């Protein structure tokens, strides 16, 4: 890859302010590299999308999300909502200075800023799929790069976002709090690639990446460039202890062996809730609190991912 410009979109609020403290170091490392760059800082939700949409197109330019999973989501949505360019899929880079940094983990981008900058500048790149979810607050669709969480996962994410703790520990604590409530599970019908399953679902994950919440491996075998999304759903468990046992397996990525857990892969899924409603998020962005229908599809090779050391498929 040629050395194009680096457009760095930094969310200073990411990681409860950690990203803002890293801004001077990022600027210094970029100046020392000799690469042409510009840093934009966001001020609120949706800013990263608008900033990216306003960037001039460039054949070898890389748009870099400096923040957490929410920043990655907004930058990806900004890139994918622009008119199709003549240079092929847009290039996305990552500087994980947020809280969970789950997508960066799947992409093999180091949490060490010096290493992340070095691999970004080295310019190794590969194809990156994106997901698209339609429904809830986004009838026209919202792109995601890491995954969609429905039910237990979404409720945990909503609660964790309100916590002051800066690390992935907030997600684990929120999981125990939601577990203690032990709310009824909606009945969800999932149709995908000629298959169909209906179950009272405590948790449904449709993921492109491998991890959510800093510690839970929702798609332990997921690949970023296979044209498929990994599905994992948990049938309602008869008791808190059984559900807790499944959650422990999620922390090791071994939940497929648990009774009542369904796993598969699909390019397109339709989820309907004939009984109850779905609480859902994509990359931490709220999709719905009580949704009845969601359509989720994979957009193969929608982006080019620059940097990272994990091997693609």
- 64-79 pLDDT tens trace: 999 999 999 999 999 9
How many Å apart are CA 40 and CA 56, to the nearest integer?
14
Judge whether residue 123 has pLDDT over 70: yes
Q: Could you tell me the residue range of the domain that residue 170 belongs to?
A: 133-301
Question: Within this chain, do residues 191 and 115 fall inside the same structural domain, yes or no?
Answer: no
Q: What is the pLDDT of residues 16-52, one digit of tens each?
A: 888 999 999 999 999 999 999 999 999 999 999 999 9
In contact, 302 and 144? CB cutoff 8 Å: no
Report d(CA 46, CA 53) in Å as an integer. Answer: 11
Whether 85 is covered by a domain: the verdict is yes
- Supply the pLDDT for residue 1: 47
What is the CATH number for 52?
3.40.50.10330
The arithmetic mean of pLDDT across residues 180-204, rounded, is 88
What sign results for the dihedral spanned by CA atoms 245, 267, 194, 286?
positive
pLDDT, residue 109, reads: 95
Are both 114 and 149 inside the same structural domain? Answer: no
CA distance 244 to 180: 10
Q: How many structural domains does the chain have?
A: 2
Asked if residue 4 has pLDDT above 90, the reply is no
DSSP string across 95-140: EE-SS--HHHHHHT--SSHHHHHHHHHHT-EEEEEEEEEEETTEEE
| Angle at CA of residue 22, ends 19 and 28, nearest 5° | 140
Rounded Cα distance between 217 and 230, Å, is: 11
Following CA atoms 153, 130, 215, 94 in sequence, which dihedral angle do they give, to the nearest 10 degrees? Answer: -140
Q: Name the band, by pLDDT with cuts 50, 70 and 90, for residue 152.
A: confident
């Amino acid at each position: 890859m040629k050395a194009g410009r680096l457009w760095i979109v930094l969310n200073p609020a990411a990681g409860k302010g950690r990203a803002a403290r890293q801004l001077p170091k990022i600027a210094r490392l970029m100046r020392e590299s000799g690469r042409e760059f510009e840093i934009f800082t966001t001020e609120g939700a949706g800013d990263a999308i608008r900033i990216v949409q306003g960037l001039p197109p460039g054949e070898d330019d890389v748009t870099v999300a400096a923040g957490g999973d929410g920043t990655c989501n907004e930058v990806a949505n900004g890139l994918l909502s622009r008119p199709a360019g003549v240079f092929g899929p847009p290039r996305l880079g990552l500087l994980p200075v947020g809280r969970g940094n789950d997508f960066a983990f799947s992409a093999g981008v180091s949490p060490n800023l010096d290493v992340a900058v070095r691999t970004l500048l080295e310019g190794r790149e590969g194809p990156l799929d994106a997901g698209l979810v339609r429904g809830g607050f986004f009838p026209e669709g919202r792109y995601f790069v890491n995954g969609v969480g429905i039910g237990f996962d979404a409720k945990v994410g909503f609660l964790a976002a309100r916590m002051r703790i800066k690390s992935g520990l907030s997600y684990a604590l929120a999981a125990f709090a939601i577990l203690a409530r032990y709310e009824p599970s909606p009945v969800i019908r999932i149709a995908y690639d000629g298959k169909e399953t209906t179950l009272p679902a405590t948790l449904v994950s449709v993921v492109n990446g491998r991890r959510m919440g800093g510690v839970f491996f929702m798609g332990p075998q997921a690949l970023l460039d296979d044209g498929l999304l990994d599905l994992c759903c948990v049938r309602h468990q008869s008791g808190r202890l059984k559900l807790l046992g499944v959650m422990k397996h999620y922390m090791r990525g071994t939940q497929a062996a648990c009774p009542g857990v369904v796993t598969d892969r699909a390019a397109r899924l339709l989820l309907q809730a004939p009984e109850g409603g779905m609480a859902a998020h994509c990359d931490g962005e709220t999709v719905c609190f009580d949704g009845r229908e969601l359509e989720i599809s994979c957009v193969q090779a929608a982006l080019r991912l620059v940097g990272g050391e994990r091997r693609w498929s």
